[in-house]
Structure 1
Amino acid sequence: MRPLLGMYVLGRLDDREFVALRAHLDGCPDCRSELRELSPVAAALSEADPDRLTEPLPLPPAALPDTIFGALDRERGRQRYRRIGLVAAAASAAIGLAAGGFVLRGITVSGPPGQPVAFTALSPGVAASARVENRAWGTGISLDVTGLPQGGTYNVWLQRPDGSRMNAGSFIGGGDRTMSMQLAVGLPMSDATTLGVSAPGDDRALLQAPLRS
């Protein structure tokens, strides 16, 4: 949501982005703090008048185009080498399989990351599934939700043992369409007891899943 803050203070967000950002700000003190810093800057922009400039505008260095295009050429070269390496690895794997197909019995296909959670509380007509994954910085959340009223804004959170909650993000309900999202929250799984979804300003959980047996 952070890239939207500048557009927000300039009044350039569409209705959907505006609603989503407002919902996010309700649970994110860092973004609220950054918004307070950006607001006076945006207000000052209206005072900027290019006609008042008395000195000529500074020009970029003459070597800037060569620097930019040189960097692009180097990046293209790195990507080309990566593609060659991937093709070579795939060819080596194909040769290995052709020489000894019996090794396939030892290969297992990994499922989605994280562990599944079971929702014990669901609003009528709502279906949801989720997986949570412990990360070095906190908890990653994969969430699929169907049946929440279209256009409504909803907060996803983790709850601590003391009942306090940490917001993991917000999303817009899609009605009969499944809404899939990847979220993150700076709270370790070991410090959380519940994954939940609620409407902004309403403590009642529309969806709730325990994280501890």
Structure 2
Amino acid sequence: MTSRVEHTDVGAYALGLLDDDDRLAFETHLLVCPACRFELSDLAGVASVLNGIGPVEDADPPSFEEQGDVVDLLRRKKSADRRTRRGTFVIGMAAAVTLVAGGLTIGTQLDAESPPQVAQEHSGHMGTHMGPAEQFYADGSPIEGKGVDGITGGLVVESKGWGTHAALKLAGVKGPLECELISVGKSGERRVMTGWSVPPAGYGVPGSPDPLYMHGGSATPLANIDHFEVISSAGKKLLTIKA
């Protein structure tokens, strides 16, 4: 199979927009990508909302000749549209959900410099709404971590059929910095759950008081995890959370 798999295909897959080759390739990708499996579970509700919206019919149907012109135009644009669909789909999904749900925010940062698998959220709210990671953290029972250099934070974790889902809260960290959340198994196995960049302003510090909330996923079952670590790209351990 030669179909290229992208992390952003998760949204198209949720709505059934992938052709057969891309769908099969993405289903294979799901077996080895906890982040995509988690994102797919989050988008399941969105897909059901959007699937309930029917097409808008024209008051005056186009003539036979006009229909032929439109079909020909669509055929000629099909290849170009498919090349650009992946790059714009996430933005379109966010806009559609905002319109349908009356201001619901997905919380995924669409900055081109951010890793595509990261669901990165700030704690600032639109009204009383929270992003998915912050909401999960607020509703759960956080496990406080032990940090260094004034860094604080914790995790809310849950067991999933595919492994372990976690929501991280992180504060007191200054940038620029690149970090990863790691699950460390009782056998010593280490798995990257998610990664992100800390901007120069930082999170949960003077001048930038909001902490960072984000999701992560590990294929290691929760019962087999000893602890979690937040580490910098230089290998420095910033925060340790016991499972």
Q: TM-score range by the shorter chain?
A: 0.3 to 0.5
Bigger CA radius of gyration? 1
Q: Which structure features the higher share of helix residues? A: 1
| TM-score computed with the length of structure 2 as normaliser | 0.40
Structure 1 length-normalised TM: 0.46
